[in-house]
Structure 1
Amino acid sequence: MDPLNAHNAFALDLYRAISEANTGRNFLLSPISIFATLSMILPGARKQTLDQLVSGMRLSESGQKPLSAESLAQLESSLGRMLSSAIPAGNAASSSKLSSSLQSANRAFIQAGMEVRRDFLTALRSSFRSEILSAEFAKDSEAERVRINNWVATVTKDKIPELLKSGSVDPLTRLVLVNALYFKANWSVPFDPRSTFDEPFELNASTAPVSVPMMHRTANWPIVFVADVLTGVRFDFEDDNSGQRMSLLAVLPAEQHGLDGLLAKMSQEDWLRLVNDAGESGKAAVSLPKIKLNSFTELSEAAYLPHLGFGKLFSNDADLSGIASTPGDLYVSSFAHQAALEWDEFGAEGAAASAAAINTRMAPPRIAFDQPFAVIVSREVATSGDGAGDKRQVPIFIGRVSDPRG
């Protein structure tokens, strides 16, 4: 499957997994941010871990042969091109264009002194436009956590001030791969604030409606119909001169309170058709609530990425030897994701960030006889003459080594 369709298929599967685990609650995610972070792990994965990544990202069909090194390099390049088109790279902290566009940035924070494979670093830089920085997780993991969070906060204009929670990185962390993006745009035709007033919103079939600020406008809208199943309205944003317009598609199920059931049953083909449907112009009186959403998800939890087929990434069986070391030395210990989105009568603003913390396994304790030590040479003997009974140690030599030179 080509990377764009793979991403869109992955987005539906991830939506379903998170929706199932958060029944009746708001949630928000940025599948493109998560996909970008998984893509940065891809060049370092090997064998079954690589197979799971490719399959979980919906980049291959079930039963497809393992990727050759050449095929993997081609896949990395095509992923990089798709991501560059979908979320353009830019300095989100300083770009003046961010008032009406989408910008993203990738960074890799790598433990100082870690011997990382050159082809992995090359893939991060060339395919995924990632800046690579040295970090001191082993010396002060908390300071590095704050440093990464500060960078994410800058890119997202403080929409995501603390992506990495306390304890998500530690002295065993060897690298953290991060994607952050920021979005802001005006509606192509704004709502009139004078037409915003409180109206009831039905949370579910069993509780009383709540009152929320509802925006209103009667106009010709791009309307999407899928048989008798759903109605969608596209709310277009102003053109940002990139030639790639953005819109917000709000989807309403035909069956009252039937949203979760609708998306749970939707085929990938219908989902891709819905996402790509530009809609047909039709006059309608539309009411849309003003919204502020902010969701944090630890995607390493069993209900999320492991449920979608990425289990080896987070296990003792992970093979990330394409990054460094040998199979089993590195694994993904945490995969943090946060997304924020709000809109009012004039436009929308949003941000998202994802961070995969890659740790080394707990190293065996180091015992170095590099100072004075005692020695005991003993022999095991039985407590009875026939060799039966308890066996105990009898010291034959006892000594102290104060200076190995003699």
Structure 2
Amino acid sequence: MVMAQNIPEIEVQDSTLTMPLFLEQEKEIEGITLAIEYDKDVLDATGVTLAGGILENKDYTLIPINTDDEGKAKVSIYSGRELSPGSTETPFAFVDFKIIGRFGDSSLLSFEKFECNEMPVSGKSGFGVNETISDKVKVIVRSDKAENFNLTHAILVLKILAGMAEEGINSDINEDGKTGTEDAVYILRVIAGLTQPSDDQIEIMQSEKPRVTSPDVSADDLRDLVAGNTEFALALYQKLSENEGNLFYSPYSISQALAMTYSGAKNETEQQMKDTLHFLSQDRLHPAFNALDLELSTRGHGAEGQDGEGFRLNIANSIWGQTSYPFLSSFVDVLAENYGAGLNLLDFAKSPNDSRIAINEWVSDQTEEKIKDLIPPGAISSFTRLVLTNAIYFNAAWKFPFEEEATQNDTFYLADGTEMSVPMMSQTKPFGYAKGEGYEAVELLYDGDELSMVILLPDAPDTSGDSVTTSVTSFGSLFRRSSRDFGTFESSLTAEQLSTITESLELKNMQLKMPKFKYESDSVSLSETLAQMGMPIAFGDGADFSGMDGTRNLFISDVIHKAFVSVDEAGTEAAAATAVIMDESVPPEPIEVTINRPFIFLIRDIETKAILFIGRMVTIIDN
């Protein structure tokens, strides 16, 4: 997600400047009591006086700018004294605090998440007008809309309707000039989860330029793009694999979504993204991605899916921007010509949670409802200006389906030696096979012969101290003892090694046993990981995405990814009818391969060698 950047200092252009407590859009409340929780030592260091814990000194005001993990706002204290034109005013300190608003004699509301849309500074383009603090403390409170409504809000509105409380908060939800029944009903429906965003909330900023359906891309550019994506896939794998547990993601989808963002990057931001993501130059990358994407869209025609329906490879990428935000037409043109994407416009500033729901519903539609909650609550705020989303759904039948009757429970050995019983599929058919130092590799084709799954099975750990490979019958004929265990193989896996493995695959008659498994990742934030990999500037105030809006006011706040995969026996009769491929001579005894310990797997396009998905299974979750 891309957010507006905070301004580090205020340029004074009028003779005087005072900064009120300003929160976007709604009505003022007079006579509100503000109870402040703060770090006394930090506050004392600023010289600011808060009498009795109540903000009484009208010469100072608090500007909330964000919230911490505990829901308390981080505020900056600004002076309200007169300043000379041309001077600057910087924050004295940051203070943790919580605001409690008391309405009438009894109604109590706690605003633990105050937000300031933009700091109102006179003479600054795009910001609110200068305001002066009155004798009474006044607070402009934003309506929570659908973001943070709770039962307390509903009770307060009902009290207002019954004449039991004064109209204080902006309870006029439908903005008809009064607090009415419709407002109370809306709040209650939100609390009950009955109110959903409608399609007419989403506008699309479309370029007048159509997608280029026959891009002029050289074979070298396409090859270099795929090679770069593979380098990124393995580099990202090494970072994500530092965490425990199963892993599954689409490096292709992540690269493509970030490529759209890269089109707006300039200077050092652009260079860091280029190096970290292993991108080509701007003029080569976007046409090459277009060519690869169009090529992949032709896959699976006439092939079967896992569920008996047609083959599906759904890659959902989209960009969502703040409505009325001045995105450059050149940025939108790149998205249209090379990615076939319009810029979807939502009002994050007024309705952040409604916007989140709308994006999640779009993703759910694109992934056949397998991924329903890509963006978690709270990830989008009123500061958000741009959101990139990517989600993956893949459904294909094996070229050689497994017989369900042949599936039996068998042992799967975890990395720590723990055993678990899992449903193990089994069949004897021709599969791609390679064996090297510390690993075996198996390739299973999907129906249509255009995509495949490659399984990398590292040797079992050496439990005897003897590095010589030996057969351990109780673990299966190819569960071999070796000095190289799963962690060693995984941590040393590179793009070059992976290429060597896939190039060495040869068709062998094989007795293959592998577990059924199903895995859906959580929504994973990649911002910290990508920053650690070499592109930190994109995620901070120094970011330069001026190719998007002509300013340097945007940065990426988050990149969120979620993926789903399901592997079972499924296939079709047509695929089974062409399952036997052999020479005229008598076939040799089949190689026995049993996937009964942690393994790495990837799904790739055979012709272009593009890695669409990569992951690992260290424990098995059955369907």
Aligned counterparts of 1:87 and 1:166: Cα–Cα separation in 2: 33
Aligned counterparts of 2:319 and 2:562: Cα–Cα separation in 1: 18
Aligned counterparts of 1:151 and 1:246: Cα–Cα separation in 2: 26
- Residue in 2 that maps onto 1:316: 541
The one of 350, 360, 368 aligned to 1:157: 368
Aligned counterparts of 1:179 and 1:123: Cα–Cα separation in 2: 18
Task: State the Cα distance separating 1:8 from its structure 2 match.
Answer: 0.8
Q: Classify 1:222/1:334 alpha carbon distance in 2 versus 1 (closer, same or farther; 3 Å).
A: same
- Specify the code of the residue in structure 2 equivalent to 1:346: A
The one of 543, 560, 564 aligned to 1:336: 560
- Residue in 2 that maps onto 1:282: 508
The one of 266, 269, 272 aligned to 1:52: 272
SS at match of 1:37: helix
Task: State the Cα distance separating 1:42 from its structure 2 match.
Answer: 0.9
Mapped pair 1:195 → 2:420: no
- Residue in 2 that maps onto 1:291: 517
TM-score (norm 1): 0.74
Q: Which runs of 5+ in 2 are unaligned?
A: 1-222, 462-483, 573-602, 604-611, 614-623
- Residue in 2 that maps onto 1:212: 422
Q: Deviations over 1:267-315 (max 9, x none)?
A: 43212233x437211122211100011112533453x211211211112
- Residue in 2 that maps onto 1:376: none
User: Larger Cα Rg: Structure 1 or Structure 2?
Assistant: 2
Q: Classify 1:121/1:80 alpha carbon distance in 2 versus 1 (closer, same or farther; 3 Å).
A: same
Identify the structure with bigger relative contact order (alpha carbons < 8 Å, sequence gap 6+): 1
Aligned counterparts of 2:231 and 2:384: Cα–Cα separation in 1: 31
- Residue in 2 that maps onto 1:394: none
Q: Deviations over 1:136-186 (max 9, x none)?
A: 111101001000000100110111100001111111111222334432111
Q: Does structure 1 conserve the Cα–Cα contact (< 8 Å) formed by 2:316 and 2:363?
A: no
- Residue in 2 that maps onto 1:111: 322
Aligned counterparts of 2:393 and 2:367: Cα–Cα separation in 1: 5
SS at match of 2:522: strand
Task: State the Cα distance separating 1:41 from its structure 2 match.
Answer: 0.4
- Specify the code of the residue in structure 2 equivalent to 1:252: L
Q: How does 1:231-250 map to 2 (within 5 A)?
A: 231-239=440-448, 245-250=450-455
- Specify the code of the residue in structure 2 equivalent to 1:31: P
Instruction: Kindly report the root-mean-square deviation, in angstroms, between the aligned alpha carbons of the 2 structures.
Output: 2.7
Aligned counterparts of 1:344 and 1:100: Cα–Cα separation in 2: 15
Q: Does structure 1 conserve the Cα–Cα contact (< 8 Å) formed by 2:328 and 2:548?
A: yes
Aligned counterparts of 2:318 and 2:380: Cα–Cα separation in 1: 16
- Specify the code of the residue in structure 1 equivalent to 2:488: G
Q: Which runs of 5+ in 1 are unaligned?
A: 61-70, 354-406
SS at match of 1:44: coil
User: Quick one: percent identity of the two aligned structures?
Assistant: 27
Task: State the Cα distance separating 1:108 from its structure 2 match.
Answer: 2.1
Task: State the Cα distance separating 1:107 from its structure 2 match.
Answer: 2.3
Aligned counterparts of 1:74 and 1:45: Cα–Cα separation in 2: 15
Aligned counterparts of 1:49 and 1:84: Cα–Cα separation in 2: 28
Q: How does 1:85-234 map to 2 (within 5 A)?
A: 85-86=295-296, 99-206=310-417, 208-225=418-435, 227-234=436-443
Q: Does structure 2 conserve the Cα–Cα contact (< 8 Å) formed by 1:88 and 1:104?
A: no
More strand by share: 1
TM-score (norm 2): 0.49
The one of 283, 289, 298 aligned to 1:79: 289
Q: Classify 1:237/1:169 alpha carbon distance in 2 versus 1 (closer, same or farther; 3 Å).
A: same
Q: Classify 1:237/1:224 alpha carbon distance in 2 versus 1 (closer, same or farther; 3 Å).
A: same
Mapped pair 1:11 → 2:233: yes
For these two proteins, the number of residue pairs brought into alignment is: 326
- Specify the code of the residue in structure 2 equivalent to 1:338: K
- Residue in 1 that maps onto 2:206: none
Task: State the Cα distance separating 1:324 from its structure 2 match.
Answer: 1.0
